[in-house]
Structure 1
Amino acid sequence: MNLSLKEGEFLVRLAREAIEYFFKNKEIMPLPEEYPEIFNQKRGVFVTLNSYPNQQLRGCIGYPLAYEPLIKGVISSALSAAFADPRFEPLNTVELDKVTVEVTVLSPMIQLDASRPYTEQIKVGRDGLYVVCGASSGLLLPQVPVEWGWDEEAFLANVCHKAGLPYTCYKDSSCTFYRFTGQIFEEETPNGRVIEKKIEEVL
């Protein structure tokens, strides 16, 4: 079920507020007293922080699967993106006003059919990818292949790489692949207007 722009804006504001609250109180913020009922649905979600204005990745963590209600997932993902992404140093208070917040709400996962070429089952500009192979897993959001200019085969190879697997893992029958879509809401500027970002507009 798609979210409205107003609901998406609520989630983006919530993600930023969760980070601000942690800076001030050194603990996880409580749930808001009032929020849309739809946020009690269990959904996969990712929070991405990008530096502004050069739009360099500053942190991105989330839940591929629907483990918990969306409202809780946004708060925990925001804190993880800010303070626990192993690729980056934890965010500091000065940086908070120099990053934009992006929330991607995921659809349910659809397993790809291993008996057919995966390139025929996915579409760049529509799908994200999730791979599970033994104890390894990796996910790339739908906007990523568009940003990098990948075709479907390159997309498959790079989700393998994201999982720490060989680029050719999509040819390994022991690996399971899933596709999903995502609804993306982001700040245009730090703490600024929130828009819904259409993937085809990501250049």
Structure 2
Amino acid sequence: MPDYSITDEDGIILVRSARKIVTKFLKGEKYQLDEPTKKRFSFDSGIFVTLNVSGELRGCIGFPLPRRLSDALVDAAIAAATEDPRFLPVSADELDGITFEVTVLTPPSQIRTDDPALLPGMIKVGRDGLMVKQGAHSGLLLPQVPAEYGWSEKEFLDNTCHKAGLPRDCWKEKRTQVFSFEGIIFREETPNGEISRQTL
């Protein structure tokens, strides 16, 4: 994990702020984080904001590479609600049925091996998120995704390649770069409800 600590209180602030940001944006208003919050999250980190309705994905956008967290939270929250190409933009009247989730990411680290067949043994479902790159293609899956679907490490690699628009077994090719990272996940238990740290 990184050399900073994300407390439960931090997670509550991040998730509540994400909801406020989206609510204000959908009403045509601008939401500014207050100065103490900006200062608290002035370090650089990757972040993803995920929206769910009744356990089904409604939007997920973020930044895998570290950037100032206070700024990235605003951009990721708005993008998750309005710019995920898989979904129509969220409307204001949907918000009472949506749960918000924020995942703070450690910096991606490339997994290096001379034998790609060893890759499944070098990652762990329930701990790692994955990012795959090959040429202009890239794809990322957060740590919670394989845990939710019950995938093996090989299936996790296959599906990350698929997310990148590549053949599922592209991770076996030496020209494919595979990166891992960890995530600190906070989620509303119900829309606008209690917020808790998630363990996979």
> Shorter-chain TM-score category?
over 0.9
1:34 is displaced (CA, Å) by: 1.9
Residue 47 of structure 1 corresponds to which residue in structure 2?
49
Amino acid at match of 1:65: L
Of residues 32, 53, 65, the one that matches 1:30 is 32
1:38 is displaced (CA, Å) by: 4.3
Q: Within 2, Cα distance between the matches of 1:81 and 1:63?
A: 11
Residue 169 of structure 1 corresponds to which residue in structure 2?
170
Contact map agreement 1:2 1:183 (CA 8 A) in 2: no
Q: Within 2, Cα distance between the matches of 1:179 and 1:101?
A: 24
The runs of 5 or more residues in structure 1 that have no matched partner are none
Q: Within 1, Cα distance between the matches of 2:166 and 2:113?
A: 18
Contact map agreement 1:19 1:78 (CA 8 A) in 2: yes
Q: Within 1, Cα distance between the matches of 2:102 and 2:126?
A: 17
1:114 is displaced (CA, Å) by: 2.9
Q: Alpha-carbon deviations, 1:72-115, whole Å to 9, x = none? A: 11111111110000000000111111000000000111110131
Amino acid at match of 2:49: V
Which contiguous aligned blocks of 4+ residues in structure 1 show a shift greater than 4 angstroms?
none
Q: Within 2, Cα distance between the matches of 1:36 and 1:133?
A: 36
Q: Within 2, Cα distance between the matches of 1:23 and 1:140?
A: 27
The runs of 5 or more residues in structure 2 that have no matched partner are none
1:2 is displaced (CA, Å) by: 2.8
Amino acid at match of 1:44: G
Q: Where in structure 2 are the equivalents of 1:1-203 lying within 5 Å?
A: 1-25=4-28, 28-35=30-37, 37-51=39-53, 54-66=54-66, 68-116=67-115, 117-199=118-200
Q: Tell me the SS of whatever aligns to 2:27.
A: helix
**Bigger strand fraction:** 2
Q: Within 2, Cα distance between the matches of 1:85 and 1:10?
A: 23
Amino acid at match of 2:183: G
TM-score (norm 2): 0.94
TM-score (norm 1): 0.92
1:32 is displaced (CA, Å) by: 1.9
Q: Alpha-carbon deviations, 1:43-98, whole Å to 9, x = none? A: 000000000xx2100000100111x2111111111111100000000001111110
